[in-house]
Amino acid sequence: MILFTMFLGVFVLLAAIFSAQFRRFFIKHRLVAATAIALLVVVALVSPMAAKYFSVDACLDSGGRWNEFENKCEYEKKKKEVY
């Protein structure tokens, strides 16, 4: 998701630099441009937190324990009980 956001940001920047029509659109529609830029910034900032949240959630749902220091999921080896 972060890579997509970065790609989109670079694309918009290059389009703004090289396209006069694109620049005119953004000058004419400043609110739309400001909203789009703000949305890109929010997505770029929230994506890493959301990715970690879903990693931890998947680990706990599968019965593991999340190790915060190593940022990985740990599972206990179950001992086989003999009856």
Domain range summary for the chain, segments of one domain joined by +: 2-74
Say which DSSP state 52 is in: H
The pLDDT value given to residue 55: 92
The mean pLDDT value of the chain amounts to 82
On whether the pTM is more than 0.95, the answer is no
The pLDDT value given to residue 54: 92
Q: Extract the residue ranges of the chain whose pLDDT is less than 70.
A: 1-2, 79-83
The pLDDT value given to residue 61: 94
C-alpha triplet 64, 67, 68: angle, nearest 5°:
135
The pLDDT value given to residue 56: 93
H-helix or E-strand spanning residue 7 = helix 2-18
Nearest to 43 by CA among 3, 5, 12: 5
H-helix or E-strand spanning residue 75 = none
The pLDDT value given to residue 79: 66
